[in-house]
Amino acid sequence: MGKSNIRWKHIKKTIQICILFCIIILLPVQSFALINVTGGYVGINDYELCSYGNRAGVNYINGLNEILKSAAANPGINYSRSYSYTNSNATKTKVQNAGRVTLFAFAGHGINCGSTANALHFNRSADGTAKKHSSETATSINLRTTETSFKHKYVVLYSCKQLMDDGYTTKQQNILNMMNGTRLIMGFASTMYLDSREGTYFGSMLGEEMISQAYLKAVKRYQPQRGAGQTTYARIVGYKSAYGDTLDNSYSYAPSYASSKNSFDVLTTLPILCNGKKV
């Protein structure tokens, strides 16, 4: 009798396992599609005749591109680079005519152009010729806020002063008016410290953090290296509902600022007290 009970329990357990296995097999399989992400970049290291000096802009965009290619760092995305314009091949015309991408980044100099605009600063004129010292503010080598129309979903302006409005309403509106489909622009409302490692660190967090938080964490790590006692202001502007966006989720392109002004604003400004210490 004892052996019979043991045998029956064994048969019953086997049947239960088979039923459970059949249920698992018959359940619909949920597939997790990767989000397609494209990158487009402009970076300048060699400023040739520029009195502002060289910067590691190419290194920044290369680091960002390389880490985004890593499936380990960004498991939710299918990433590809669409274009990269560097040094003498980087001009304002290239930025103005750049094809739409998910993530666009410029790394290099930026200048304040007064009460209405700021500008991305290039080492070559729009036609590709080398500039001269006397032309630091010339239209041919500066892409002003008022000339810019970004159609990319997310934009990083890793340069000085691009999101600085100096308290001028017109200047703030011109900054927001650059957004024509863009959900977030991340940059600075002051002079900043260009450390190319920040691009790699920023990109390494995009698989697990909100885009805005990945940017701010990278900024807090590397910007304190600027001169002791100075304050760097990191700023994010854009579509109000986009602050929590992540790169591994699909979102529609935003409307243009011009068509929906109440939907856009300065989303955050982060002051960073600098200590001049290298990291």
- Residues comprising the chain, all counted: 279
Share of the chain above pLDDT 70, in %: 87
pLDDT of 29 reads: 41
pLDDT of 163 reads: 98
pLDDT of 6 reads: 53
Cβ atoms 120, 161 nearer than 8 A: no
pLDDT digits (tens, 9 = 90+) for 23-79: 444 444 434 689 999 999 999 999 988 888 999 999 999 999 999 999 777 888 999
pLDDT of 137 reads: 87
pLDDT of 208 reads: 87
pLDDT digits (tens, 9 = 90+) for 117-162: 999 999 888 777 877 656 788 888 999 999 999 999 999 999 999 9
Q: b/e string for 194-219 if b means 16 or more Cβ within 10 A?
A: bbbebbbbbbbbbbebbbbbbbbebb
pLDDT digits (tens, 9 = 90+) for 1-27: 555 555 555 555 555 555 545 544 444
pTM: 0.87
- The DSSP letter of residue 111 is E
pLDDT digits (tens, 9 = 90+) for 68-108: 999 777 888 999 999 999 999 999 999 999 999 999 999 99
pLDDT digits (tens, 9 = 90+) for 147-158: 999 999 999 999
Based on the number of CB atoms within 10 Å of its own CB, is 135 exposed (0-12), middle (13-18) or buried (19 or more)? middle
pLDDT of 180 reads: 98
